[in-house]
């Protein structure tokens, strides 16, 4: 039987990846507002915030207790 311990580093990496993607989405959403496409910018901010929340949750759950 394998223990659940080796999955923690992979989960942490996935969480960090999601946080990175969320950061890129949030930073780059400014360009949509500057080009009069606010709806796309708002959608990108919402997706970025959701990814940041999920990524933060995954990183937090991967921490040893």
Question: Which pLDDT tens digit goes with each residue over 42-62?
Answer: 999 999 999 999 999 999 998
What the block records as the tokens of 53 is 């929340």
Question: How confident is the model at residue 2, as a pLDDT?
Answer: 53
Cβ atoms within 10 Å of 6's Cβ, excluding its own: 8
Percentage with pLDDT > 70 across the chain: 89
Question: How confident is the model at residue 27, as a pLDDT?
Answer: 95
Instruction: Tell me the C-alpha distance between 25 and 46, whole Å.
Output: 9
Question: Which pLDDT tens digit goes with each residue over 21-48?
Answer: 999 999 999 999 889 898 999 999 999 9
Using the Cα atoms of residue 4, residue 57, residue 43 and residue 26 in order, give the sign of their dihedral: negative
pTM (2 d.p.): 0.82
pLDDT at 6 over 80: no
What the block records as the tokens of 13 is 């990496």
């Amino acid at each position: 039987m394998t223990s659940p311990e080796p999955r923690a580093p992979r989960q942490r990496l996935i969480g960090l990846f999601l946080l990175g993607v969320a950061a890129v989405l949030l930073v780059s959403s400014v360009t949509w507002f500057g080009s009069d496409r606010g709806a796309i910018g708002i959608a990108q901010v919402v997706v970025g915030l959701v990814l940041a929340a999920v990524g933060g949750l995954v990183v937090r759950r991967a921490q040893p207790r």
